[in-house]
């Protein structure tokens, strides 16, 4: 889980999936705009309603983010955290194609 990427060697990259109270998706997404360590957040369809990409220096920093930031947002009902084992990044200036 120690990766070299935009944040450098030793960064922990995560995907935090969340189930939220129906109708609060946009409000929760808006509340994440200025959250430190959050790289990107998306409203999603399917089992989970929100996906938050994060970047952390330590597991303790990740723990604090989940416990003291994400789980305290009104409307968040459940979270699942995925920790990336390997990550590649697009070359600067190049778009990532999904299809």
CATH of the domain at 56: 3.30.70.920
Confidence of residue 59 (pLDDT cuts 50, 70, 90): very high
pLDDT at position 23 is 96
Expressed as residue numbers, the domain containing 71 is: 12-83
Q: What is the pLDDT of residue 36?
A: 87
Amino acid 5: pLDDT: 45
User: Looking at the 3D structure of the chain, how many domains does it have?
Assistant: 1
**Quick check: 1 pLDDT over 80?**
no
Which residue pairs from 21-30 have beta carbons closer than 8 angstroms and sit at least 24 positions apart in sequence? 21/75, 21/77, 24/74, 24/75, 25/49, 25/50, 27/75, 28/73, 28/75, 28/76
pLDDT at 62 over 60: yes
- What's the mean pLDDT in 20-36? 94
- Provide the token pair at 23: 């109708």
Residue 73 maps to a domain: yes
At 37 the pLDDT is 87
Q: Is residue 93 part of a domain?
A: no
| 39 domain residue, yes or no | yes
6 is a domain residue:
no
């Amino acid at each position: 889980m120690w990766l070299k990427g935009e944040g450098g060697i030793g960064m922990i990259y995560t995907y935090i999936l969340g189930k939220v109270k129906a109708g609060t998706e946009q409000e929760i997404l808006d509340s994440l705009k200025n959250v430190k360590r959050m790289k990107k957040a998306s409203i999603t369809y399917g089992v989970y309603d929100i996906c938050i990409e994060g970047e952390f220096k330590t597991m303790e920093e990740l723990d604090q983010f989940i416990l003291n930031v994400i789980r305290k947002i009104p409307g968040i009902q459940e979270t699942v955290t995925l920790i990336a084992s390997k990550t590649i990044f697009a070359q600067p200036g190049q778009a990532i194609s999904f299809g």
